[in-house]
Structure 1
Amino acid sequence: MLTYPASIPLSTRSLTRLTELIRDRRRALGGRWRRLPAQQQALMALAHLRNGDTLTRLAAGFAVSVATVWRYLREAVDLLAACADDLTAAMRRAARLAYAILDGTLIPIDRVADQRPYYSGKHKRHGVNVQVLADPAGRLVWASAALPGAV
């Protein structure tokens, strides 16, 4: 197995914030032993979210199992989602802006057992539809839950 250094186009502030969230969660759960320190878990999650690194590549890079990577990523994503505004708060924030940008995108997925709702005829592929509300500078204000691609 060959390894190589890589970079993530994010600020250290993002890494620090996610690391703090993970540390707080670990303290709340108790003194359970973890395979990776909080900062490494945060780095793994940001590499996956920003660069799209696969679970297998992350497992090899951080010397943990694929199951551990999946569990750590789920925990980090859940912590980030808990910090996000709900739609009501996002609409209040958007009302204070000169204008807001509303857009949606289809994120491709592998086929699932019940394929029909996830097939987008417009894009001719399976996926999930995510709606996004952004401020004039393009910063994320709110993102919807992933809806089936046919929505």
Structure 2
Amino acid sequence: MSSKVKIYHNPACGTSRNTLALIQNTGEEPEIIEYLINPPSKIELIHLIEKAGLSVREAIRKNVEPFETLKLDQPHWTDEQLINFMVEYPTLINRPFVVTEIGIRLCRPSELVLDILSASQLKAFSKEDGEIIINNNGKRIK
């Protein structure tokens, strides 16, 4: 049986780890795709960005080496060109993207994942930095 939830994950990223933990907190074991090892295809990446309601520029990670070297902040780059760079250099893909039956989100901050999970019962949860996301009564802290 395949999972109903898929996360494009980077285990070195705190936001990605918190998002994964929030998913698991609902009892769901997601399909984990370490996108730096197994990057999405160009078609998959376009789908993720479009369904998440983002522009390509919103989905690109700006604080990584290729962004500066390639000068991707310049307005002359087209969406097509930026997508091609993201496929070539997966580190440029912002993370984590999460796919569920409800929708697709770029989960920054990590608690955005709760908007696309169908679980009604939540257990207490704090991020790695101690920030409480779900209290002891199972209520989301906003």
Tell me the TM-score normalised to structure 2 length: 0.26
Higher relative CO (Cα under 8 Å, sequence separation at least 6) belongs to: 2
More helix as a share of residues: 1
